[in-house]
Structure 1
């Protein structure tokens, strides 16, 4: 009997060892989490990665917790099986080929990808924390499989969901709903990682946050929030910087009323509006967005960002970033001082403005033509409205912009004008804000700052992109950064597709740069055969050096320096001078000529 019992014990031990090898698990203060091991391949090289999916980091933001800051999830009632993604946050599916994921208001989950390799340092793996884009209105962490990036770069990758649209950003300017809950979701997920990532083999002192588009703006905002000190040491901002126009409001009161009215609620009292939105189903809230986009019935500023946008809430965002920049020139700024303690990698794609082509529809973009009248009466005024909001734009400023965004060899060519539209909106939305942010960040001692321009014109694009664009559109760098691990059939309606070899080589280089930066703070180190022979220089306000990603990488200087000077100096100087002259003329209109002559304000 003893012999038989011993055999059973040995057999059970072997089975347990086999299962533990196949089913990875970790134990943290909140309980035990089990995941799964998956095989991934990049450029014919196999890897294994442990995945822990759908881990709740916050209580479901439902009922009384809707329109409130997130609360930690707390301990797991039993061992937690993290083998399936959690649902995405409620959203309208409006982009071409956007996969319609399962959604739920109970959506605050994170996903962790752990490479099955020895870490580069004894302290554990460096951690890359990704914040998805989507205009704060769509997207999820599920869409971005971190397995290849984690394995090839030998880092832990974390992706997250955060609340979107009205449910994530409603600000009615009082304590009932103060807005920016989506940013506090991101921060709570960062706190979760800080506390627990060590159990997964991660180094909590080597966390890098990175994101694209609205995720990039999120990264930048998290980097100017001083209470985040200690949660991460560096950030990678891909295609959206702090002063991107049209993304901040004082509050969302008018949007709240719009939603309430479209759900047949009273809008005479904000308490009633809040009660209406608190009790509405997520489906009804999203239906308002979908119906509005279909009918074109909402105000222009709401059409651009369906639902609600970040607001100057007085806590997470205390003032407009542009004002913060100006203030930091002559005064101490806690936000900018904190920003400058963190390493930054910042960049834009070659033709970011091509994202705006979607307003013309996704069909026949190859043959799109823009008339001079459309440029002068629609596109230029639309651009000035984005930049200057409610300010009346002087005619001289409009003429200045028309002159700048004209190909003077072919001033009225409809095909040249379409290229100028891409240039115009690329500059105001992405290029100028990016350069301005890098200048502010690097304009201090002992700060490591890096700038890139991703120009490669890929075979397939994340967004509808005609061939005449000729360079990378918005979002195109995501494929190379994540090692083309997307579900291409779901995201871009592409099946049976393998990227060409030059794109895979580019992807290998970019993953090395990104993960090197996470490991060491220097994209060039540790050196390897994968990293380009071109050393990526630091960015500073004197040399303004940057790396250009293409079929072959190269180094450049003064990226969009002319455009930045034009918008921040030339246009603003003419605008202010014209406003000043108009003010004087208006004042003198109520005086006689002799009085104006005497005080020096006439003529």
Structure 2
């Protein structure tokens, strides 16, 4: 990134004087398990320890166990990333994968820490719908170096191997998140050897990583393992919810049938069922494949197991005694709906108002269409206004409104810690979803932030630099500097405020109206990140009224959690499949792209 590179160049004389030119061949750390040897990054300004195995998996579908045996020969080579956990679309010709040895973590720390106090630690939990991804996908180098923190990224088991319920009680349905807890246990035991302290650990994650943070924040097994939590576009609860045990077992039975296994015990056979073959759930439960499923209550592909999680997070957050962290940051992106709708090809012959009626029923569907009318701002400025409005509906339904509700529930529960709410609206030219949709929608404008686009900015990862086309313009450089500073300051102190930026008010200090049967939370201010800067915004009238509409749907489903999905629409409404085949309605024709 241009800004970071200039920063490093400015630091070179100082750091060289401090001894970079004469540093050891590789960094070496002594732990209670033995010595760990790593490598240098950022031209010697960071120390990296990759692929450290933190837990063993004794057998398929078993809970992992934290490693406490001394290293062989008293030494662990942490100079390269370890194997990834088996996952959908894995390509073993490109990367190394493992079922039993993939529980590894990666540590980034500054070579020359600023000050003598122990460093705060930020533990990143990657996203990927709990079916894909790895800790190595996100580079903690710049966040660690520029903010004087330790950054740790982790692997955890995915898909069937990490989240299948093994009986009608949900046993094993959260083994992947149990892995995350074991990573935190390892970190607590050994972070002092890396210059950190177990009294200042923050977990943060995006999408299903944020979902994981939401769960760990109310898991009794994670109590005391971290002090602060940051949930980025992943609020488990109203929008994404875990299966109840009986529903989880239904998923298991379908998955067993799909893979031709007579029982869970049969599926444990590594010889009969190789990991690469069984890592996926039954296609029947893949909810993000196409538009017709977008408005269903998105089941998060994990099951309440009675161990890691005792109930739905949406319920647990109403009791402050359940909330583990001392402080929380929770937020969403302006167009998180690109999570399931990054390909606009489904728009061919699509009619938004008819689709809303088919999914939500006539009255509620009409009200939702009116609240997100493609002919109104901000959608009218897009080349395909219908696509933009549809993305916003999905994003609000799945992420933004549940995020507001989760934050409001925590803040109003009697929880004594601060709750900071944000909405990220900064567009940058490297927005992957924006690149994917190409000319089908004009997204090169302020206010568009696709799902996960903020992670590149937070980590300072200029994805275009490798191709000779840096995507970080001046506004994005400023945005990156602010996100890094606020996230790291929160990790150090529990307060993301800094003198050079707008004051961020905690929800705990506002007169919010709690979500209830009467509708969504009211008087909910949030910090908006946009155009390279930030500002507190009271978006109550607009966003609360939109979330009110979805809240009616959420409440309808309170008694139908085991079913998953919105209650059947009124008989007068057409099926979604019929809607997809209809001609475009005249109100949207002007906003549609040319053939």
TM range (shorter): 0.7 to 0.9
Match of 2:55 in 1: 58
Q: In structure 2, what is the Cα distance between the partners aligned to 1:486 and 1:112?
A: 21
**Cα distance in 1 for residues equivalent to 2:540 and 2:61:** 40
SS of the equivalent of 1:423 reads helix
How many residues end up aligned between the 2 structures?
509
Q: Summarize deviations over 1:466-498 as a string: whole Å, max 9, x none.
A: 553441111110111101166976xxxx55435
Unaligned ranges ≥5, structure 1: 1-16, 41-46, 385-393, 583-603
Larger Rg, first or second structure (1 or 2): 1
How far has the Cα of 1:73 moved from its partner? 2.2
Tell me if 1:82 matches 2:82.
Answer: no
Superposition CA RMSD, Å: 3.8
Once residues 348 and 465 of structure 2 are traced to their aligned partners in structure 1, the CA distance between those partners, rounded to angstroms, is 30
- Aligned to 1:427, the other structure's residue is in SS state helix
Per the alignment, residue 405 of structure 1 pairs with: 372
* SS, match of residue 340 in structure 2: helix
Maintained 8 Å contact 2:220/2:308: no
Q: What secondary structure is seen at the aligned counterpart in 2 of 1:452?
A: strand
Q: Does 1:513 align with 2:511?
A: no
Separation in 2, partners of 1:538, 1:26: 39
Tell me the TM-score normalised to structure 1 length.
0.75
Cα distance between partner residues in 1 of 2:249 and 2:109: 43
Counterparts of 1:156 and 1:524, CA distance in 2: 20
- Contact preservation (8 Å) 2:164, 2:172: yes
- Taking the aligned partners of 2:230 and 2:526, their CA distance within structure 1 comes to 14
Q: Paired residue for 1:21? A: 24
- Report the equivalent of 2:576: none
- The whole-number CA distance in structure 1 between the counterparts of 2:218 and 2:452 is 24
Aligned-partner Cα distance in 2 for 1:114–1:291: 43
1:91-240 alignment runs, 5 A limit: 91-93=87-89, 101-105=95-99, 106-120=101-115, 122=117, 124-174=118-168, 177-240=171-234
Cα–Cα, structure 1 residues 100 and 219, in superposed 2: closer, same or farther, change >3 Å?
farther
Match of 2:442 in 1: 468
The 8 Å contact of residues 88 and 132 in structure 2, kept in 1 or not, is answered as: yes
2:507 corresponds to which of 514, 521, 539: 539
Is this contact kept in 2: 1:219–1:237, CA < 8 A? yes
Q: Distance in 1 between matches of 2:84 and 2:505?
A: 39
Call closer, same or farther: CA 1:176–1:237 in 2, change over 3 Å. closer
| Offset from partner CA, 1:353-388 (integer Å, 9 cap, x none) | 133323545xxx9xx56643xx24445545x5xxxx
* Matched ranges for 1:297-376 at <5 A: 309-325=301-317, 328=318, 333=319, 336-339=320-323, 342-358=326-342, 360-361=344-345, 371-372=350-351, 375-376=352-353
Aligned counterparts of 2:198 and 2:363: Cα–Cα separation in 1: 53
Does the CA contact (< 8 Å) of 2:201 and 2:226 recur in 1?
Answer: yes
Aligned-pair CA distance for 1:557: 2.8
Structure 2 unmatched ranges of 5 or more: 1-19, 512-522, 560-566, 568-595
Any conservation in 1 of the 2:219–2:324 contact (CA below 8 Å)?
no
User: Shift of the alpha carbon at 1:102?
Assistant: 2.6
Cα distance in 1 for residues equivalent to 2:170 and 2:330: 36
Deviations 1:294-347 (A, max 9, x none): xx89x969x9999x811111222211233335xx3xxxx3xx324275211111
Shift of 1:449: 1.9
TM-score of the two chains, using structure 2 as the length reference? 0.76
Q: CA deviation at 1:22?
A: 2.6
Question: 2:80 is paired with a residue of what secondary structure?
Answer: coil
Q: In 2, distance between residues paired with 1:125 and 1:465?
A: 41
CA change 1:414–1:81 in 2 (3 A) is closer
Give yes or no for contact 1:370–1:414 (8 Å, CA) kept in 2.
no
- CA deviations 1:19-58 (Å, max 9, x no partner) are 9723211121111111112225xxxxxx610100000001
